[in-house]
Structure 1
Amino acid sequence: MLSIASLIELLAQPQKIVITTHHKPDGDAIGSSLGLYNYLIQQGHHVTVITPTDYPTYFNWMPGNDGVVIYTEHPEECAALVSEAKIIFCLDFNALGRINELGELVGKSAAYKVMIDHHLEPEDFDDYRYWNIGACATAQLVYTFIVEELKHKELVNKDVASCLYAGILTDSASFHLPNTTSAVHRITADLIDAGAVNWRIYDLVYNNSPENRLRFLGLCLSERLEVLYEFNTAIFHVTKQDLEKYDIQTGDTEGIVNYALSIAGIKLAAFIIERKDKVKLSLRSKGDIPANAICRKYFNGGGHFNAAGGHSEDSLENVINQFKQILPEYKKLLIK
């Protein structure tokens, strides 16, 4: 493993650096990546952020976004960048499978690999690990990595702060999840002091949707919601036809599952969506309901204890039925 002293020594000279994050990046993935990018370029490093896939357009305002390279659109360029990199920062993921085909390139690369992450059970592909499952967001860890490990608080400028604030804002569900500690609020206060305009960032992320997304949400609430009060569980399900009718793009379904969890008494919520190649699930839970264990055991996934995801090659109808059939296994937790 690489020591922090050795990493600091490496970073003392300009290096070719790649930053990458998980497929279908969310606000924390993009925010932490571009936050780190904006820190590193101040020291003269040659830095490129590579994402395995596209991501929501409502994150395009972040400083540095114009330089992001999407692997599925430029595979040869990405392969060259990875092969030339001296350091690869792996943010907001802990297994190479989470970056799809890009994972094979990163795994074979001779570059030093630095993992900054807050997910359970990391794989051993990294040379240096800055990891804490108690963190509410990887963006929180990028901040403490810069400030506490690298001792460069003065380099947390407006661009760095704005990206990291967005990452913390989105992964903490606007600061209302249990792991949004007083330390998190002190960090976000520092980010605001550094130039992050909190109300503007909220507006750009959450009040920037196309009309069709709102109409799609109306469909979900009125026709695609099923509430199973005997298990304190609620389920959204949408079809491929629904996605096509409302021209749903990457990120347009983000957060809808939380509407199901907002129903009084509901402890487990599922958003089950039929994509072209598979059925995907997003689970959210309250208290001691292990969303990650459910996804890991039954749906080829995982994640955080109260926020997880998975997928299945089965039909939408069968996945819905399978999800319902496993609920009795967790009934004691769900109804207590």
Structure 2
Amino acid sequence: MNLETVKAVKELLSTPQNMVIIPHKNPDGDAIGSTLALWHFFKNNGQDATVIVPNDYPKFLKWMPGSDQILNFEKENHQCKDKIENATVVFTLDFNHLGRVGQLEEPLEEAAKKIPFVMIDHHQAPSDYAKIMYSDVEMSSTCQMVYNFIEAVDGVEKITSEMASCLYTGIMTDTGSFKFRSTTGETHRIVADLIDRGAENTEIHHRVFDTNTPARLKLLGVALNNMKILEQFKTAYITLSQDELDAHNYQKGDTEGFVNYGLTLEGINFAVIFIENKEEGIIKISFRSIGDFSVNEFARSHFNGGGHNNAAGGRSEKSLQETALYFESLLKDYKNQLAV
């Protein structure tokens, strides 16, 4: 954080505030971990704060300290709207465009006309809705940025075991258990400090990764059976239809991490998963890559998405089959890039 941003944040926090803290739609470990850690920090320092999620999130994250205090906009609509209308400041975490919050977009746009917004995020191409922006695309995770935020306002010694657990979870999940290129020495130093402050790393890993249901593992089997490998493009992709999800009692978060299996294949640099969502009328897409191939640019150019250089998301309004065929048709233009 630069000195100007730190000064603005300290001035904002110098007086009591009614804070609302919001992650993106379909929040993941980094989104939930960062919002809850910040919520704990503010509550422990006498501020009024509420975390509002646009919609539900996976069960394997609901053990996190403070999770039972989160409000769900889809289920607690009136209460959430009241909180936003009475807020004096809104913190938005792990996203940088209000289009990422689903039905929360309209009330947040109205709030942005009246009160300051603070953005903490590590995705590319931020929009300008926030008065105070802490944006850094080189960061491993928003949780690492929240740690830096707390450090900048002289609050590291106030990090509790609950906060440490939330921050560790977000860093762990957004770095692929510390294997992605965005994981730096500083990331590991922060993680070490979080463990010293009470984050039980073995238990956290168990709670996130070792609570599968038989249905989820069978769905993984379907996904792997559906995988198509395009060796000439060093690409592998998975498709999952709504019928396949329904047949395996799909629960939110069940497909988390499936896309990464393609990258475990020798010689594959680009992995994708296409998941049919009939309720929303779209195909949800996750992109992953190894090396310099930018899935962020690919997603922005062709699938109304974006994210990071090696991890991004997108969507398609075509059918599942049409989307996969369209995707394959694009690859010839990227053959040279994918060959590196």
Say whether the fold is shared (TM-score over 0.5): yes
1:140 corresponds to 2:144: yes
The residue aligned with 2:155 is 152
Correspondence for 2:7? 5
Match in the other structure for 2:18: 16
Q: Deviations over 1:25-52 (max 9, x none)?
A: 0000000000111111111111110000
In structure 1, stretches of 5+ residues that fail to align are none
Matched position secondary structure for 1:177: coil
Structure 2 unpaired stretches of 5+:
none
8 Å Cα contact 1:14-1:43 kept in structure 2: no
Residue by residue, what CA displacement relative to the aligned partner does 1:215-234 show, whole Å, maximum 9, x if unpaired?
1111111x211101111100
Q: Secondary structure at the match of 2:309?
A: coil
1:316 paired residue number: 320
Give the whole-Å Cα distance in 2 for the aligned partners of 1:178 and 1:323. Answer: 26
* 2:53 alignment partner, one of 51, 54, 78: 51
8 Å Cα contact 2:227/2:236 also seen in 1: yes
Q: 4+ residue runs of structure 1 moved beyond 3 angstroms?
A: none
User: Could you tell me how far 1:4 is from its partner in structure 2?
Assistant: 3.1
1:3 shift after superposition: 4.8
State the alpha-carbon separation in 2 of the partners of residues 50 and 98 from structure 1. 14
Counterpart position of 1:298: 302
**Aligned-residue identity in percent:** 42
1:156 and 1:3 map into 2 onto residues whose CA distance is: 21
3-state SS of the aligned residue for 2:266?
coil
For 2:149, the aligned partner's letter is F
Q: Secondary structure at the match of 2:199?
A: coil
SS in 2 for 1:191: helix
Partner of 1:231: 233
Q: For 2:164 and 2:110, how far apart are their aligned partners in 1?
A: 33
Q: Distance in 2 between matches of 1:334 and 1:151?
A: 45
Counterpart of 1:178 (choices 181, 187, 202) is 181
Report the secondary structure of 1:100's partner residue: helix
Q: 2:244 maps to which residue?
A: 242
2:82 to 67, 80, 98: 80
The reply on whether 1:195 has 2:211 as its aligned counterpart is: no
Write the letter of the residue equivalent to 1:161: A
Q: What's the C-alpha RMSD, in Å, of the aligned pairs?
A: 1.0
In 2, Cα distance between equivalents of 1:46 and 1:317: 49
Task: Give 1:261 deviation, angstroms.
Answer: 1.0
Say if 2:5 and 2:134, in contact at 8 Å, map to a contact too. no
Q: Which residue of 2 aligns with 1:286?
A: 290
Match of 2:178, as an amino acid? F
Structure-2-length-normalised TM-score: 0.96
Secondary structure of 1:101's aligned partner: helix
* Paired position in structure 2 for 1:36: 38
Counterpart code for 1:23:
K
Q: Secondary structure at 1:13's aligned position in 2?
A: coil
2:128 corresponds to which residue?
124
Match of 1:333 among 316, 322, 337: 337
Q: Does 1:162 align with 2:186?
A: no
Separation in structure 1 between the aligned mates of residue 336 and residue 172 of structure 2, nearest angstrom? 33
* Counterpart residue type for residue 180 of structure 2: L
Aligned equivalent of 2:221? 218
Q: Structure 1 length normalisation: TM-score? A: 0.97
SS at match of 1:247: coil
Number of residue equivalences: 333
Q: CA 1:6/1:181 → structure 2, altered by over 3 Å: closer, same or farther?
A: closer
What SS class does the counterpart of residue 301 from structure 2 fall into?
Answer: helix
Greater mean alpha carbon deviation, residues 165-174 or residues 204-213: 204-213
Amino acid corresponding to residue 254 of structure 1 in structure 2: E
Equivalent residue of 1:186, what SS? helix
Opposite residue 217 of structure 2, the aligned amino acid is L
- SS of corresponding position for 1:280: strand
How far apart, in 2, do the equivalents of 1:191 and 1:6 lie? Answer: 26
